[in-house]
Amino acid sequence: MKNVLSVFCAVSIGLVSHVTLAADQTHWGYSGDTGPNHWGTLAPDFTTCAKGVNQSPINLTGMVKGELPKLNIQYQAGGTEVLNNGHTIEVVYGKGSRINIENEQFDLKQLHFHSPSENTIEGESFPMEVHFVNADKAGHLAVVGVMFKEGAYNPELEKIWNSMPKKVGQEVALSAAVNINKLLPKQDKYYRFNGSLTTPPCTEGVQWFVMKEPITASKAQIKQFSQLFPHGNNRPVQSVNARMIIQ
């Protein structure tokens, strides 16, 4: 099973940013003629969005049981600034936070949000999802996904929301360090699969780890984010094809 789990492609370190240079130069969005159904035709670099066979997000179903390694998360309180890039709200991180998977270290580069969730679990969509984007020294990416359900007010999330810029292209310094361990569920069980970036250029070879247990945010907190993206900022689920989803 370990050999199966280790079969992932390499990705350039330039893909650590949620939006790459190519994506910055080509207008794309989540609705209309520049929406997800058209991404593959907007630029030559985006063809994987249409032709890729290991695309993300997906509906997690038909899981296969396996001996998954412990997801050793070593995130520190921090974050430098909050960015509104027109597609999401992103928190940029400096050095010091990482995850270790099978003795490989991936450093946290940034985290960002989608509403509604991009991945679904057994067909269930969640009102919001956060992605923690990590990269090793060679540029291989590992993304940890956590679902939000509507419920108790989330004080740690509020630290980000308090600095959340409303204007596209605006960056705001975080007024308080964010303990992102509090944006992770108490249970460390997860699903693992091979996928891609969920935004153009949709490059494949990304290791995905979606936590089984959701965390909560209040109705007002979810609304505060979703109002910035009234058409939603989630890519629809893609075909699983021949991939295994391991739990």
By annotation, the residues acting in catalysis are: 87
* Residue 82 · residue 142 · CB < 8 Å: no
Which tokens is 110 given?
Answer: 């940034």
Cα–Cα distance measured from residue 223 to residue 217, given in angstroms and rounded to the nearest whole number: 10
Q: Let me know the angle formed at the C-alpha of 4 by 136 and 124, rounded to the nearest 5 degrees.
A: 85
Peptide bond into 201 cis (omega under 30): yes
* Residue 101 · residue 72 · CB < 8 Å: yes
SS (H, E, C) 126-149: CCEEEEEEEECCCCCEEEEEEEEE
Cα–Cα distance measured from residue 34 to residue 21, given in angstroms and rounded to the nearest whole number: 17
Closest CA to 79 of 152, 132, 13: 132
Which tokens is 245 given?
Answer: 């989803």
